[in-house]
Amino acid sequence: MFHKVLIANRGEIALRIHRACREMGIHTVAVHSTADANAMHVRLADESVCIGPPASKDSYLNMAAILTAATITGADAIHPGVGFLSENADFANMVREHGMAFIGPDPEHLRSMGDKVTAKQTMKDLGVPVVPGSDGAVTDDDEAWAIAERIGYPVLVKAAAGGGGRGMKVAYKREEMHDALNMARTEARNAFGHDAVYLEKYLGHPRHIEVQVVGDNHGNAVHLGERDCSLQRRHQKLLEEGPSPALTDEQRTWIGQRAVDAVRGMGYRSVGTFEFLFEDGEFYFIEMNTRLQVEHPVTEAITGVDLVREQIRVAAGLPLGFGQDDVEIRGHAIECRINAEDPRTFAPSPGQVTNFHAPSGLAVRVDSGLYSGYRIPPFYDSLVAKLIVSGTTRAECLRRLNRALEEFVIEGISTTIPLHAELIHEPDFVSGNYDIHWLQRYVDAKS
Question: Which chain residues interact with ligand ADP by CB under 6 A?
Answer: 131, 156, 162-165, 200-203, 206, 208, 232, 235, 275, 277, 286-287, 436
Phi, psi (5° rounding) for residue 41?
Answer: -70, -30
Contact 320, 314 (CB under 8 A): yes
Maximum distance among all Cα pairs of the chain, rounded to whole angstroms = 60
Q: What is the 3-state secondary structure (H, E, C) of 254-285?
A: HHHHHHHHHHHHHCCCCEEEEEEEEECCEEEE
Q: Which amino acid is at 442?
A: Y
- Count the neighbouring beta carbons within 10 Å of the beta carbon of residue 172: 12
Which CB sits closer to ligand ADP, 200 or 341? Answer: 200
Which CB sits closer to ligand ADP, 36 or 295? Answer: 295
Q: Tell me the residue length of the chain.
A: 447
Helix (H, G, I), strand (E, B) or coil at 63: helix
What span, in angstroms and rounded, lies between the C-alpha atoms of 70 and 78?
8
- Shortest approach of ligand ADP to residue 284 CB, angstroms? 7
- Shortest approach of ligand ADP to residue 151 CB, angstroms? 10
What span, in angstroms and rounded, lies between the C-alpha atoms of 156 and 235?
13
- Count the neighbouring beta carbons within 10 Å of the beta carbon of residue 64: 10
Which CB sits closer to ligand ADP, 5 or 277? Answer: 277
Cα–Cα distance list, 106 to 5, 77, 271, 272, 275 (Å): 18, 14, 11, 12, 19
Which CB sits closer to ligand ADP, 4 or 237? Answer: 237
What span, in angstroms and rounded, lies between the C-alpha atoms of 422 and 417?
9
- Shortest approach of ligand ADP to residue 68 CB, angstroms? 31
Considering only CA atoms, give the Rg of the chain. 21
Which CB sits closer to ligand ADP, 290 or 416? Answer: 290
- Name the β-bridge partners of 207: 278
User: 221 exposed, middle or buried (CB, 10 Å; 0-12, 13-18, 19+)?
Assistant: buried
What span, in angstroms and rounded, lies between the C-alpha atoms of 107 and 290?
10
**Which of 141, 192, 214 lies closest to 171, judged by CA?**
141
**Which of 271, 286, 201, 197 lies closest to 235, judged by CA?**
286
Q: Which residues are catalytic?
A: 291
Contact 436, 206 (CB under 8 A): yes
